[in-house]
Structure 1
Amino acid sequence: MSHDDEEFDLLSRRITAALQAYPRASWSRIATVLGEPERTVTRRGRELLESGDVRVVGVIGASGVAILRARCLVGMTRSVAAGLARRDDTVFVYATSGEEDCVAELQVDDAHLADLVLDDLPSVAGIRELRIDPITRLYRSVREWRPGILTPAQLGALARSRQDVYQPDGSGGSEIPDVHRAILRILANDARTPTSEIGRMVGISENTVRRHLESLEANHQSRLRVVVEPSLLGFRAEAMAWVEVAPARHDDLVEALLKHSEVRYAAALGGTNSVLVNLACTDRLALHQMVTRSEWSALADSVSVTPILKATKRSGSRLGAMASASYLY
């Protein structure tokens, strides 16, 4: 539906933002909240999903998460990024410019972290240097990103019961029942699959599906999110920011940081005084002002910005391919 250099029109942006707030909301509910004709919203919403520009997927979190920073051999960045995106354990993979050539989020529990760092990742062809930092606190995931397109009242009308951000603790996690695993596979491919269709595919009643969906959501085993390029929503300058902050100012900085809708993702990295932030701004000037003139940046000891050149994977979904996060289950 869209070209790489073409932003969504206003209605498409508003529908996408509505899905971010409530991924399984009916088209009629979205139309009511937006004040648009249901037929128009249904047609445009289906076009967005069928085009692949917008995907609604379910991601299950391993109980441990780490951030990889890699420097690559000359000419190997694209290959390394593609290889990391094919891995079962990566959630996002970005080719970047600056001190790092690739940045990725990996799902790994503490019991397997040493093998990953010492044996697995060093064997990836094309990586010259790498660093792995476990996440000790997640402040905002892409699931909670609200890009400032809808009004607070509209978001309130769409939002379901508020949940805290999922916190990976590094443990092995509990076993997932077979019926939940089957549902999660379906959600990984298309999180808007109707409950009636899920029931038919799994072999249970629609009411039972609803109960399982509520249980999965309450236990953070199913975290639905929208996969969309920020540039299509009007945010053409995307970057990772590595923020160094003294422990005494850490909480104040995070509180100020999370007031900004440009923050897609924010996490504390273990073993450091760093906060990792994924920023999506309208242009380079807005990005510059965000990291130099905002309240949170004044609290930082330093801010290092790494522009994102290309995303090869977002929310467990490889971009440019139909493969989804189903292999996580």
Structure 2
Amino acid sequence: MTETLDQADRSICAALLRNGRAPWRLIAQATGLQERTVSRRATRLFEQGLVRVTAFAHPLLAGRGDAFLARFSCRPEQMPHVARWLAHRPETLWVSTLMSQSAVLAECFIRPEEQAAFIERELPFRDVTDYSFAPLHHYRRTVRGWQPDILDRGQLAVLGEDETSALNASEGPLDEFDQVDREILDLLIRDGRMSIDAISSELGLAKATVRRRIQLMQHSDRVSIRAVLEPALLGFPHEIFLTARAPLSRLDELAELIAADSRARWVAETTADGSVRAMLACRNSGEVPSAVSDLAARFADDRLTVETERLLTMYKRSDVVLPPAIRSS
């Protein structure tokens, strides 16, 4: 079982969730810790493999295709195999098995011209007994914007990153990456805190060019740089997947209510079936009924239905393949 970090480490992790490239000085200012303490503790977390900072490119700009929530049913003994296969696929962003049934959930981005090949040629050979692909039409929260109850609003404001503008930007036209952007991005995917000097030396670019390019990619919300870690480290070991359904006329309202919950790590609308899908990180199983009843009270509509499923094992988070998939690949 993953142990919870102490308060200082949790504060540093929360800061890195907000802004993965924040200087130690800025994190110290936000958390009230000494700068040398922040540097020492964060370095230890990195070296132990508990926290990784990586860049994540906007899927549309990266040419990854249309967004779907995919569910793959399989026999119980095949769950790990299907999950590992999906975790290593470039189409998936996150992958998890379910506790409630022998199935695997995944967020997928598939180009239209590749959808038939993936479903008709790949799945039949992967011990998948059934599948579904629900198109994701509008994101209300991604793990980039998850802020557990560790830092307050004032502390978060010091760090300077905010998902709101990113979610708004994804609704409009976006500029694609050029070759130089992609080369810088590839290095930041490997290490989101790689120094300007190191990137400049690796690519043979002027430091001013590297700095300007990274700032432009971040400020335009084409790229986010954030920490990837297990919520259990922060005291939230109980992850659930929630499906809430309501009339289409109130779907936006429902999605906003769910996204406003500090436990919501990922929230998206699926207008095809009038549902909001969400991933929640809770302190314990007792929080789940209270979260559902609180949502029902705030939404106040008898037509609301809510289903919850316990996430069992995460094989991939934020495009990062996790040890369960690595060890058995």
Tell me the TM-score normalized by structure 2: 0.89
* Residue 222 (structure 1) shift: 1.6
Note the 1:66-105 alignment, pairs <5 A: 66-99=68-101, 101-105=103-107
CA contact (8 A) 1:93 1:311 kept: yes
Cα distance change on mapping 1:165 and 1:124 into 2, 3 Å: farther
27-36 vs 5-14, greater mean Cα deviation: 27-36
* Residue 254 (structure 1) shift: 1.8
**Structure 2: which 5+ residue stretches go unaligned?**
61-65
* Residue 76 (structure 1) shift: 0.6
Separation (CA, whole Å) in 2 of partners of 1:88 and 1:249 = 34
CA contact (8 A) 2:67 2:109 kept: yes
* Residue 39 (structure 1) shift: 1.3
Separation (CA, whole Å) in 2 of partners of 1:190 and 1:322 = 20
CA contact (8 A) 2:21 2:226 kept: no
Separation (CA, whole Å) in 2 of partners of 1:221 and 1:108 = 19
Q: Secondary structure at 1:260's aligned position in 2?
A: coil
Instruction: Identify the residue that residue 115 of structure 2 maps to in structure 1.
Output: 113
* Residue 255 (structure 1) shift: 2.2
Q: Secondary structure at 2:11's aligned position in 1?
A: helix
Separation (CA, whole Å) in 1 of partners of 2:194 and 2:135 = 34
Q: Which amino acid aligns with 1:193?
A: M
Instruction: Identify the residue that residue 165 of structure 2 maps to in structure 1.
Output: 163
CA contact (8 A) 1:137 1:167 kept: no
Separation (CA, whole Å) in 2 of partners of 1:166 and 1:72 = 37
* Residue 87 (structure 1) shift: 0.7
* Residue 131 (structure 1) shift: 0.3
- 2:317 aligned with 1:314: yes
* Residue 62 (structure 1) shift: 2.5
Separation (CA, whole Å) in 2 of partners of 1:293 and 1:9 = 29
Separation (CA, whole Å) in 1 of partners of 2:254 and 2:97 = 27
Note the 1:128-147 alignment, pairs <5 A: 128-147=129-148
Question: 1:94-141: per-residue Cα shift (whole Å, max 9, x none)?
Answer: 011225611001122334334333433x23412111001121101111
* Residue 51 (structure 1) shift: 1.2
Instruction: Identify the residue that residue 286 of structure 1 maps to in structure 2.
Output: 287
Q: Which amino acid aligns with 1:278?
A: M
* Residue 253 (structure 1) shift: 1.3
Separation (CA, whole Å) in 1 of partners of 2:87 and 2:118 = 16
Q: Which amino acid aligns with 2:2?
A: D
Cα distance change on mapping 1:269 and 1:118 into 2, 3 Å: farther
Q: Secondary structure at 1:29's aligned position in 2?
A: helix
CA contact (8 A) 1:166 1:220 kept: no
Cα distance change on mapping 1:167 and 1:208 into 2, 3 Å: closer
CA contact (8 A) 1:62 1:109 kept: no
Task: Give the paired residue count.
Answer: 318
Separation (CA, whole Å) in 2 of partners of 1:205 and 1:16 = 31
146-155 vs 298-307, greater mean Cα deviation: 298-307
Instruction: Identify the residue that residue 304 of structure 2 maps to in structure 1.
Output: 301
* Residue 247 (structure 1) shift: 1.1
CA contact (8 A) 1:97 1:307 kept: yes
Instruction: Identify the residue that residue 182 of structure 1 maps to in structure 2.
Output: 183
Question: 1:150-199: per-residue Cα shift (whole Å, max 9, x none)?
Answer: 01110011124762316767x9x875322111111111111111111111
Cα distance change on mapping 1:91 and 1:177 into 2, 3 Å: same
**Structure 1: which 5+ residue stretches go unaligned?**
324-329
- 2:219 aligned with 1:222: no
Separation (CA, whole Å) in 1 of partners of 2:49 and 2:125 = 30
Note the 1:217-296 alignment, pairs <5 A: 217-294=218-295, 295-296=297-298
Instruction: Identify the residue that residue 38 of structure 1 maps to in structure 2.
Output: 35
Q: Which amino acid aligns with 2:100?
A: G
Separation (CA, whole Å) in 1 of partners of 2:84 and 2:255 = 32
Q: Secondary structure at 2:36's aligned position in 1?
A: helix
Q: Percent identity?
A: 29
* Residue 244 (structure 1) shift: 1.0
Instruction: Identify the residue that residue 327 of structure 1 maps to in structure 2.
Output: none
Separation (CA, whole Å) in 1 of partners of 2:184 and 2:325 = 19
Q: Secondary structure at 1:184's aligned position in 2?
A: helix
Cα distance change on mapping 1:61 and 1:126 into 2, 3 Å: farther
Question: 1:262-307: per-residue Cα shift (whole Å, max 9, x none)?
Answer: 0000001242111110000110001221122334565462111110
CA contact (8 A) 1:62 1:108 kept: no
Cα distance change on mapping 1:147 and 1:73 into 2, 3 Å: same
Separation (CA, whole Å) in 2 of partners of 1:111 and 1:135 = 18
Separation (CA, whole Å) in 1 of partners of 2:134 and 2:119 = 10
